Structure 1
Amino acid sequence: MRIPFKNMPTAMPLACALALASLTLSACSGGETAASAETEGEAAADYERGPHNGRMLRDGDFAVEMTIFEDGVPPEFHVYAYQGNKPLPPEQIQLSVVLKRLDGEENRFSFAAVEDYLRGSGTVTEPHSFDVTVVASHAGQRHSWKYASYEGRTTIAAQAAQQAGIEIEQAGPAVIDQTIDLVGRIELAPASQAEVGARFPGRVMSVHKQVGDRVAAGTLLARVESNESLQTYSVFAPRGGVILERRTNVGDVTGSDPIFIIADPAEVMAVFPIYPRDIERVRPGQAMTVQSLAGERRHQGVIRDFLPLAQAASQTVSARVPLANPDGFWRAGMSVRGKVTVTQREVPLAVRTSGLQAFRDFTVVFAKVGDSYEVRMLELGQQTPEWTEVLGGIKPGQPYVADGSYVIKADIEKSGASHDH
């Protein structure tokens, strides 16, 4: 498909837009004929198109038609020449094109005759957004044009960008974690619980604590009259914690079963069933993020161990992560989410996943140069919620929008941007 050049206006503050509207795209001079690529104030969609739907550049009765061909091949220039609106043999034309990009990079193209057109010497890499200089020679006469062909570019003043919450980082190396998402529950740590029984069988004479009461070690829980000695003795809490269960009342006769269960809620564990497909990748010592279902509380922990037995029905094994719980937020029986890091890999180039946006058929970030922002089409590698590996499309060290990229995309879309050259 041949895609004609365009001069796409970008969304920008009003003062900048008015300034741009006043500019003319003038041609080179100096001992040669010169022509304007566009008339002053010409809208992007109003420039003259040629027989191949390309941009027509005229100088007197000589003209060239600029197109980018990308039907089944990487984008490349196909340029057609005319004299008095009649096609010229391409071998009669000497042509060169220079593209100057937003960051100052220049791409130079020479041309060779192929069939009825001049073919550029290399790939026109994305984005197709640049200032263009075209120089053509025919029959001893030199012609030149300069014009802008932008896409995916906008300008936002620094103060406005700050107010919009746009955050900038530099593309560079990062450590990318491969993670597995799990769902588990909170359980009391086994060592935090104590079963309290009567020392001797007998009748319960008094009960002093209820379920939910917090007790310290040595707190009186009940008094029991021994069946043998008929002496009344006291039952004390062996440790501090909270009364989870009270299994006796006044008048009951105690036996060997516990009459209270006490646990310290500050000692809990997150327990996650690990299914067979993940068992070989999850190991004790791996980092785990434990998160409440509402997402308001997170804990960074480590898998301490696995329970020795698998569940027969599900064939899962239970991984346990100790949690600090000084305020009692994590309660036994709560469901929680877990994210375990199974591998870590350092990559030479990555961007924040939060900065990615869809643009045409590409995944992009927006590079920042001064107060201007422009798409960078990325070739992606491994992706995580935090980082995305980049295999190509942006230079190391390039500032880009890491957060708030939707603001840039919306500003560009307001301009009615299309892939048209």
Structure 2
Amino acid sequence: MNKTQKITIAVMAIIGLLLAALMLVPRRGAGTAAQAGGAERTEHAEQAPSAHADKAAPEQGGLAEAPPDKIALDDTQARAAGIVLAVAAPARIDAAITLPGEIRFNEDRTAHVVPKLAGVVTSVRAELGQNVRRGQVLAVIASSALSEQRSELLSAERRLALATTTFERERRLWQDKISAEQDYLQARQAQSEAGIAVRNARQKLDAIGAGAGAGAGPAAGGAQLNRLELRAPFDGVVMEKHLALGEAVKEDAAVFTISDLSQVWAEIAVPPRDLALVRVGQTVLVKASAFDAQASGKITYVGALLGEQTRTAKARVALANPDRAWRPGLFVSVDVPSGRAAGASATSANAAGDAAVAVAADAIQTVDGKPVVFVKEAGGFRAQPVTPGRSDGKLTEIVQGLPAGARYAAAGSFVLKAELGKDGAEHAH
């Protein structure tokens, strides 16, 4: 490269630098102008809400815009929205614990019908789910063992009849001084022993339910001696059936299960921490889990032992079931009143109740994840954050955030919550 070419390249480089400098100067100025314009727009934007508020204020009668936690609502609008006011005041809070449970058969009114003698089923007269009455025949079984016992009774009755006749004859002969007293005494002894044998045979039949009035007696003839009738012990429903016509059954087979469903049990599981609150004779509220139904019952039993697997104690509630809506196997929840809170004493309790301030349970709403009560103020309502305490489902204790005597929305507070949500959305925009 010669000297002339080097000079030419240097001149071109200098010209390029100058052009680049000229191009950069206007851009910096434009950026400054843009920043200035942005500042003006920001200042205008900050002033715009005030102007908008000033413009909106005359439309609202010259009132300033409400704070975010306040809802502007006059008395007429509140009544139209279904809002009911109440006064926060002391009250008695009888809180309740809720325990899981299940409907069970009343075991005191549930019977397993067994033949007590082996035999063959000759007739079945009751079906599964059928309502039966006390004494109704459920099935008939032919039993050879029963035939032998009835034969024994027949023989004993015949011997008793003969012994009685002999005794009466010997008594007359002895009274007439014809026979010796020893013959009279022997006849009396024979009659007594025959009577014992008859009572023994009858009691054997009564023990298996085949005594007088329980089926065809011995007097019905030889063809009926083996007839064993299984009868319902009380009014109830056939819950289980385990026999069929012609089937051979054993003496200890539970062929029928009869249960009186007019009263059932609600069996509940009680953890150790709640055992002191569950007492026999206490009235509780049982609620169905599968449908909307509830009923009151009394606790009749509280277990003294904890289950090895569940580590809970069993308690039992007697529940009237006239319509049979409470079916065994149904899951329920049981509300047990827990009384005063632990540590509360009569000296520290308020004269009107054990909660210094209480409000309606429906009055408490959740706003931004925090419980609030809508307090009545001039021109509307204000969402007052509170700290709730115990609750019995109707009243809730307010531990902090609301003084006694404050007027609040006891009913319809969900309407105020919805209005507060709308106002928050408008402020966000």
TM bucket (normalised to shorter chain) is 0.5 to 0.7
**Aligned-partner Cα distance in 2 for 1:218–1:278:** 44
Q: Contact 1:286 / 1:342 at 8 angstroms: preserved in 2?
A: no
Counterpart amino acid of residue 244 in structure 1: M
1:220 aligns with 2:216: no
The alignment status of 1:243 with 2:251, answered yes or no, reads no
- TM-score under structure 1 length normalisation: 0.58
- Partners of 2:369 and 2:246 in 1: CA distance: 79
How far did 1:302 drift? 3.1
Match of 1:353 among 361, 364, 367: 361
Compared CA separation, residues 297 and 222, structure 1 to 2 (3 A): same
* CA deviations over 1:221-265 (Å, ceiling 9, x no partner): 112223142432432212111001112222223413332110011
* Larger Rg, first or second structure (1 or 2): 2
Aligned equivalent of 1:177, options 94, 104, 115: 94
Which of 313, 321, 328 is the equivalent residue of 2:324?
Answer: 328
- Mapped to 2, the partners of 1:196 and 1:170 lie a distance apart of 62
**Structure 1 equivalent of residue 108 of structure 2:** 191
For structure 2, list consecutive stretches of 5 or more residues without a partner in the other structure.
1-49, 51-55, 148-224, 342-353
Query: Cα distance 1:169–1:261, how it changes in 2: closer, same or farther (>3 A)?
Result: same
> CA offsets per residue over residues 74-96 of structure 1, 9 Å max, x none?
xxxxxxxxxxxxxxxxxxxxxxx
1:193 CA displacement: 0.6
How far is 1:413 from its partner?
4.2
Equivalenced residue count is: 283
* Greater percentage in strand: 1
Deviation for aligned residue 1:417: 9.6
Amino acid of the structure 1 residue aligned with 2:70: G
Question: 1:32-71 to 2 correspondence within 5 Å?
Answer: 44=65
Match of 2:125 in 1: 208
CA shift at 1:396, angstroms?
Answer: 3.3
Cα 1:22/1:168, change in 2 over 3 Å: closer
Task: Look up the match of 1:136.
Answer: none
Residues 246-285 of structure 1 aligned to structure 2 (within 5 Å): 246-254=241-249, 255-285=251-281
Deviation track 1:27-69 (CA, whole Å, cap 9, x = no partner) reads xxxxxxxxxxxxxxxx64xxxxxxxxxxxxxxxxxxxxxxxxx
CA drift of 1:161 comes to 3.9
Q: Distance in 2 between matches of 1:377 and 1:406?
A: 15
Asked whether the 8 Å contact 2:70–2:380 carries over to 1, the reply is no
| Greater helix proportion | 2
Deviation >6 Å, runs of 4+? 17-20
Q: Is 1:22 equivalent to 2:57 in the alignment?
A: no
Letter in 2 for 1:276: P
Q: Percent identity?
A: 32
Q: Pick from 300, 303, 307 the counterpart of residue 304 of structure 1.
A: 300
Is the Cα–Cα contact under 8 Å of residues 386 and 401 in structure 2 kept in the other structure? yes
**Superposition pairs for residues 95-244 of structure 1, below 5 Å?**
152-158=70-76, 160-162=77-79, 164-198=81-115, 200-228=117-145, 229=147, 230-244=225-239
Q: Which moved more, 1:361-370 or 1:205-214?
A: 361-370
**Once the 2 structures are TM-superposed, how far is the Cα of residue 217 of structure 1 from its aligned partner?**
1.0
Work out whether residues 290 and 336 of structure 1, in 8 Å CA contact, stay in contact via their aligned partners in 2.
Answer: yes
Q: Which residue identity is paired with 1:372? A: G
Partners of 2:407 and 2:296 in 1: how far apart?
30
Partner of 1:367: 375
Residue identity matched to 1:22: G
Distance 1:279 1:294 in 2: 27
Higher relative contact order (CA 8 A, sep 6+): 2
| Matched position secondary structure for 1:22 | coil
Long gaps (5+) in structure 1: 1-7, 9-16, 25-42, 45-128, 130-148
Return the alpha-carbon distance in structure 1 between the equivalents of residues 379 and 134 of structure 2: 66
AA in 2 matched with 1:197? V
User: Would the aligned equivalents of 1:357 and 1:405 in 2 still touch at CA under 8 Å?
Assistant: yes
Give, in whole Å, the separation in 2 of the partners of 1:368 and 1:350.
Answer: 16
